Amino acid sequence: MTSISVIIPTYNGAPFILDALRSLEASLAYMQGRFAAHPELSGFQAEAIIVDDHSTDDTVAVVQDYIAHKPLFRFTITDRNRGVGTARNLGVKTSHGELIFYLDQDDTYLEKHLYYCVQALASNPLFGAVKTQARLSAPVHPYWKQVIESTIPITTCIRRDVHDFIGGFVEDPRLKELKCEDSIYFQLLRNLFRIIRIQEETVVHNKTPGNAFDRQYERFSNPPEQNINALNEREAELRPEIIALFKERLAERILLRERLLAHKSFADKPDCHFVIQPSKLEQQN
């Protein structure tokens, strides 16, 4: 395991993005310091791919000024606003790392995040991804803290072949409208692959004006049994379509997995993290 890519989508994030980038640099420095004692990791490489999704504020200028003369970073700007899922897919396509991390513009890494995730996957080849815990900037009910941690991208490190198998983030206008481009991606990951759970807060997930944490904060602040509906009329209308879209994609991936595992040379690989327990959908059938 010799390389990582950190994918950073931005959109009108000028007030936050520098804190995110500095936290990445600090976490990378910590990891490099720990790996200095391991000669087998001396060739370790890292890159950060920033994808600006056609911001209308000063994000582009702020980022360009900060990353000038810093070879860690590469910067891409989309020709129009396409949505955060599409921005992440573009970042992954232009990256080269064996392990993929995500960092949103208004969140930050704690210094041990990269090191813990890389070490976990290096030691456990049968697992496809790592999930850590998050320090939240605003208090929530304990039930919702676990839900948030399991669905936000920043707590995730995923192998490139697992990302490719899932098919990346689903690029669908309905997901962009609901601002839930992450949902199907992480449901597929949870249903199809073994995931290492690190029981430590290694990132900070911030509540900023208009982000998903902010929009659903009333719901997150109360017990789930209160059943506070955070969806508006349009979102409630689209929800069944999103569920159907997920089931369709999951069924496709299950069939693809079966075809791959039918090849003995593939299934017998000692690091075949595709071989897992049946998914929830398979158990229901």
Q: Do the Cβ atoms of 214 and 279 come closer than 8 Å?
A: no
Q: CA 143 to CA 152: how far, in whole Å?
A: 15
| 3-state DSSP assignment of residue 169 | coil
Q: Do the Cβ atoms of 246 and 166 come closer than 8 Å?
A: no
Query: How many structural domains are present in the chain?
Result: 1
Strand (E) or helix (H) holding 47 = strand 45-52
Q: Which residues pair with 195 in a beta bridge?
A: 129
Nearest to 148 by CA among 90, 178, 89, 107: 107
Q: Which two tokens stand for residue 227?
A: 């059943």
Q: Which two tokens stand for residue 256?
A: 């693809």
123: domain CATH number? 3.90.550.10
- Which pLDDT score is estimated for 277? 46
Q: Which domain holds residue 196?
A: 3-284
Nearest to 6 by CA among 70, 72, 81, 102: 102
- Which pLDDT score is estimated for 236? 81
Residues 6+ apart with CB under 8 A from 264: none
pLDDT in tens, 169-213: 999 888 888 777 888 899 999 988 999 999 999 999 999 998 989
- Which pLDDT score is estimated for 285? 39
| Maximum C-alpha span of the chain | 57
- Which pLDDT score is estimated for 281? 44
pLDDT < 70: residue spans in the chain: 1, 39-42, 228, 230-231, 264-285
- Which pLDDT score is estimated for 62? 98
- Which pLDDT score is estimated for 206? 97
> How many helices (H) and strands (E) in the chain?
13, 8
Q: Which two tokens stand for residue 34?
A: 């720990």
Q: CA 6 to CA 78: how far, in whole Å?
A: 18
- Which pLDDT score is estimated for 220? 94
Q: CA 210 to CA 12: how far, in whole Å?
A: 12
- Which pLDDT score is estimated for 273? 66
